[in-house]
């Protein structure tokens, strides 16, 4: 199956507007020769419009939001709706990132609402999941991932799944410098495809992109992307440096 190759950059709560503008300018220049790779960056909310405007003429280079409200509009001080995000040029929303699950206690019900709102507003979703260190140590990591996927994806149709990418991010690898080995990543990604077959169909499992995230960097991206079921990466720290991000883009 010939799937899309994707590199997404999650800037988290980093950078200033000036830094964001410089970073995007540099990424545009350095990724020129890799137009066939789908690139998505997730800057903080205040920089989304500027970054989106800067990327509007680029090929295969998109902007997404790191989060959105589970509510559609109204008296929810401090929240940002999918409609707002769409109106400033966002095309993707990150849902289920482990930092949202753990620091902000987001539960499956909230994740479902966020995905529903995103899809209803023509935004695509990168849905993140992954086990904690304890779960890998006591060999319950497959069960954890199965639950995370089933609990949320079961409410969506196969047609809706077309607008969802998956990102396997073992929590023990995020921001720690400890990456999953290519064997560990491949084993889990292949397992995720079996879950998608079970929930939807063989065809859906064959075409859904599955990204790997967790200390993926310019040094280890090539061996991870060489795995049959790894379709790219969701990059945190290394997406804040244009050189590293573009080296990762060139790692397929």
Cα atoms found within 13 Å of the Cα of residue 219, Cβ hemisphere only:
5
**Residue closer to ligand PGA (CB basis): 77 or 105:** 105
Given 70, 97, 131, 189, which residue is catalytic?
97
DSSP string, 92-105: EEEE--HHHHHHS-
**Residue closer to ligand PGA (CB basis): 153 or 214:** 214
Smallest gap, in angstroms, from Cβ of residue 124 to ligand PGA?
17
Smallest gap, in angstroms, from Cβ of residue 230 to ligand PGA?
14
φ, ψ dihedrals at 100, nearest 5°: -70, -40
Residue 214 sits in the site that holds ligand PGA (CB under 6 A): yes
**Residue closer to ligand PGA (CB basis): 69 or 179:** 179
Report 219-238 residues binding ligand PGA (CB under 6 A).
234-238
Determine which residue in the list 81, 86, 110, 215 makes contact with ligand PGA, applying CB under 6 A: 215
Report 158-197 residues binding ligand PGA (CB under 6 A).
169, 174-175
Asked about 97 being catalytic, the answer comes back as: yes
Asked about 178 being catalytic, the answer comes back as: no
CA distance 185 to 182: 5
Smallest gap, in angstroms, from Cβ of residue 7 to ligand PGA?
12
Smallest gap, in angstroms, from Cβ of residue 47 to ligand PGA?
18
Burial class from Cβ neighbours inside 10 Å (0-12, 13-18, 19+) for residue 215 reads buried
Query: Where would I find the H helices in the chain?
Result: 17-30, 48-55, 82-87, 98-103, 108-120, 133-137, 141-153, 158-161, 182-199, 202-207, 221-225, 242-249
Confirm if 193 and 202 have CB atoms less than 8 A apart. Answer: no
The residues assigned a catalytic role are 97, 169
Where do contacts with ligand PGA occur on this chain (CB under 6 A)? Answer: 10, 169, 174-175, 213-216, 234-238
């Amino acid at each position: 199956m010939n799937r899309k190759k994707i590199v997404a950059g999650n800037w988290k709560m980093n950078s200033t507007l000036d830094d964001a503008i410089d970073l995007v300018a540099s990424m545009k220049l350095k990724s020129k020769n890799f137009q066939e790779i789908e690139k998505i960056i997730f800057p903080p909310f205040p920089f989304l419009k500027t970054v989106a405007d800067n990327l509007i003429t680029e090929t295969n280079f998109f902007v997404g939001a790191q989060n959105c409200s589970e509510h559609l509009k109204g008296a929810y001080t401090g929240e940002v709706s999918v409609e707002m995000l769409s109106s400033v040029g966002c095309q993707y929303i990150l849902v289920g990132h482990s930092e949202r699950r753990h620091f902000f206690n987001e539960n499956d019900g909230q994740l479902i609402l966020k995905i529903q709102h995103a899809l209803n507003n023509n935004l695509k979703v990168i849905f993140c999941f992954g086990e904690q260190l304890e779960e890998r140590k006591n060999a319950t990591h497959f069960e954890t991932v199965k639950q995370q996927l089933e609990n949320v994806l079961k409410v969506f149709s196969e047609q809706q799944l077309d607008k969802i990418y998956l990102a396997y991010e073992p929590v023990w690898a995020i921001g720690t410098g400890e990456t999953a080995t290519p064997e560990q990543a491949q084993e889990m990604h292949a397992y995720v495809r079996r879950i998608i077959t079970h929930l939807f169909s063989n065809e859906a499992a064959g075409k859904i992109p599955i990204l790997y995230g967790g200390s993926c960097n310019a040094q280890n991206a090539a061996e991870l992307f060489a795995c049959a079921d790894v379709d790219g990466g969701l990059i945190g720290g290394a997406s804040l440096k244009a050189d590293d991000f573009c080296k990762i883009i060139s790692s397929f």
